[in-house]
Structure 1
Amino acid sequence: MPALPTSPVVFGAVLESVTAGSVPATPAAVSIGSIPLSDSLAWIAIGAFVAAMIFEWRGAVDPARYVAASAWVIFGVFWLTMAPHYYLEVKSPIETLLTVAALPLCVYTGYLLVQGRESLLLLSRAVAFMGIIYLPAETIPFVRTWLIETTAAQTHFGMELFGYSPGIEEGINGYQSRFAFDPDETVTGRTTYIIMSCTGIGSMAIFGGLIAAVKGPLKRKVAAFTLAIGVIWFLNLVRNVFIGLASPWGWFQQDFLVYIATEFMSAPADRTSYIVAHNFIAQSLSIIALLGITYLVVRILPEVLEPLEDVLYVLTGSEYDLADALGQEVRADGGSTAETASAATESEAADGPTGISESEIER
């Protein structure tokens, strides 16, 4: 399960690079061998998060805290089992570090829940909704096939806009998702194919979970969700096209980059463009994009700031007031103080400078 979204920064897309006409070797086999364990841990963790959410809804806060704490520990173990995949197969320093760091962070989150930090139940509820969105897409075959092959078709259309039309063929994952560039005509002789992580469903689940978990007017929640999904879909498509062209056409095959990829990452020289495009440029920009999308969502649905403040507390040990920092405090009725100030201004304008309304003057 490549990208269940809950580590602090995950944009959730990976394009696997393969030499045209060849099959990846040992790292892929190691990764495939660990998938059943990872899937089992993910389902157990999400099931526990859902159970904690049910306890909380029924008013049993203490049982909810303990069940959620157990869920966080299992979730951390899940991420640790994914570290070999990201290190050996994907060769992604960012994702490897995140998966390794996830275990202590998740255990610490569980510890805080046991110690009585009830606000983390909201973050736990968000993760439950994330799993509800992501796991069916990951594990139901026809949904998975549709997502992968639709993303491949859309990416191919994007390539055609730039004058490339390689066609799509079956990849080693069994889906019609491999871009059929002729290895004799490209610079590196390599191509890419779409996997589940390339669909952007991981990032969509992050925002879907956060938006579903918080309390707020339905209209604003729908608006925030629509905005987030639309932006993620577009940026994900742009990135897939970028990586899908950079890898075969060797956009980053400069000598110093080849040296870094071969000497420090033990990668084949002809895979350099893929590694630079995907692991460094795309993933770094994904972090910036994630922060930008979060800002846009917060402007519509400031209630989302509450679980984000708890994420920062887990990471730093310090309390933060993000609403105050952004000048957008959340009211108890689901609005913001900016709306209150606007309403007050309109009322004063109607009443006049003395605070007496025109109707009172007429009387």
Structure 2
Amino acid sequence: MNMASVSAATDAASVVGLESAGATALTPAILSSIQLTDMLAWVAVAAFFGALVLRWQGALEPARYLATGAWVTFGGFWLTMVPYYYYEMQSPLQTILALAALPLCAYTGYLLWGGRDSLFLLTKAIAFMGLIYLPAETIPVFRAWLIETTAVQTHYGMELLGHSPGLSEGANGYQSRFNFDSDETVTGRTTYIILACTGIGSMAIFGGLVAAVKAPLRRKVTAFALAIGVIWFLNLLRNVFIGLASPWGWFQQDWLVSFMVTYMGAEESRVSFLVAHNYIAQSLSIVALLGITYLLVKIVPEILEPLEDVLFILTGNEYDLLEALGADDIRADGGSERADSER
């Protein structure tokens, strides 16, 4: 299972769309792959929930079989994203994560098939992640509101730093393009906000984890609110950083341009964007995800339980993160000695 690429999905994988002075439309091949991706994602999420219902009703074996199929489908969903990440976004991190997702998801299904029933909790978390993310991906009104609101907030952040390019229609049809004058900027390029720039991927990850585990409602609400607030703020900073680095060529140094063009196949005028987005912002996003996880564990240590299974899938070793972090007082019913004193 590829937890990081869900946010690809991580906002390690969140994206600011790049365009030149005009809008660059997606190719028909990319559009058709997005339709297939949406279908696979919905099928996987529906199958995840179906397996959870079967398990709740006591039909354990059918639940395992359905969950196994759901995990394989989920891996197929990520595989369809590889061409987009590799050709369109030119993102090595996202491409590697998407490629790794299929074997990891297939292995997760294999473990479930073989009787590792603790993986039903991870299955539940992924199901809730999809339930949070997919409506934003597939419902036009919600999608437009998220993108355009993020664009307005990012533009306000730019204004605080002395830049006021205005907003115009981006290649995605939304008022999300930062309207820098190509004759005045260093690279002649600008950026526009797409769905992944909204932070919804990372919000879905933590929302799914918190929703899946058993814990007192007050702690779960507190953890979710904290995660949303931190993600929103850091995502805003990231968007402003990339949105200014691209047109003003903050990373257009000759040696860096030569390296990126020669060895990474980048367009010369696109180097500053690629360095800012694909390398600096995505690397920092991973650090941010780990930091947010640490904060949430302090409030809802129960989320360590599905993360232990993620580590088992990745390494083949069993881990007791609850004990390692001193949170082993959690009871099987999702409460804890500490939580009892809160109620």
TM tier, smaller: over 0.9
Residue identity matched to 1:101: A
Aligned equivalents of 2:211, 2:103: Cα separation in 1: 26
Q: In structure 2, what is the Cα distance between the partners aligned to 1:336 and 1:8?
A: 34
Q: What SS is found at the alignment partner of 2:168?
A: strand
Amino acid at match of 2:24: V
C-alpha contact 1:5 1:203 (8 A) present in aligned 2: no
| 1:8–1:311 CA contact under 8 A, matched in 2 | no
Match of 1:303 in 2: 302
Structure with max Cα Rg = 1
Aligned residue runs from structure 1 range 130-279, under 5 A: 130-279=129-278
TM-score by length of 1: 0.89
Tell me which stretches of 4 or more aligned residues in structure 1 moved more than 6 Å.
none
CA shift, 1:9, in A, is: 8.3
Contact 1:252 1:273 in 2 (8 A): yes
Structure 2: distance between partners of 1:7 and 1:188: 29
Q: Closer, same or farther in 2 for the Cα pair 1:260/1:268, shift >3 Å?
A: same
Deviation, 1:8, is 9.6
2:19 is aligned to 18
Higher relative contact order (CA 8 A, sep 6+): 2
Q: Which residue of 2 aligns with 1:63?
A: 62
Aligned to 1:352: none
CA RMSD of the aligned region, Å?
A: 1.9
The equivalent of 1:350 in structure 2 is none
- Give the Cα separation in 2 of the matches to 1:31 and 1:46: 22
CA–CA separation in structure 1 for the residues paired with 2:288 and 2:163? 26
Greater alpha carbon shift after TM alignment, 210-219 vs 260-269: 260-269
Gaps of 5+ in 1: 344-363
Contact 1:179 1:193 in 2 (8 A): yes
How does the TM-score come out when normalised to structure 2?
0.94
Unaligned runs of 5+ in 2: none
State the shift of 1:84 in Å: 0.5
Q: Distance in 2 between matches of 1:35 and 1:9?
A: 14
Please tell me whether the aligned partners of residues 5 and 202 of structure 1 are also in contact (alpha carbons under 8 angstroms). no
1:31-42 correspondence runs (5 A): 31-42=30-41
Please tell me the residue identity of whatever aligns with 2:307. Answer: L
Number of aligned residue pairs: 337
Mapped partners of 2:268, 2:218: distance in 1? 51
Q: Which moved more, 1:57-66 or 1:310-319?
A: 57-66
Alpha carbons 2:7, 2:202 under 8 Å: kept = no
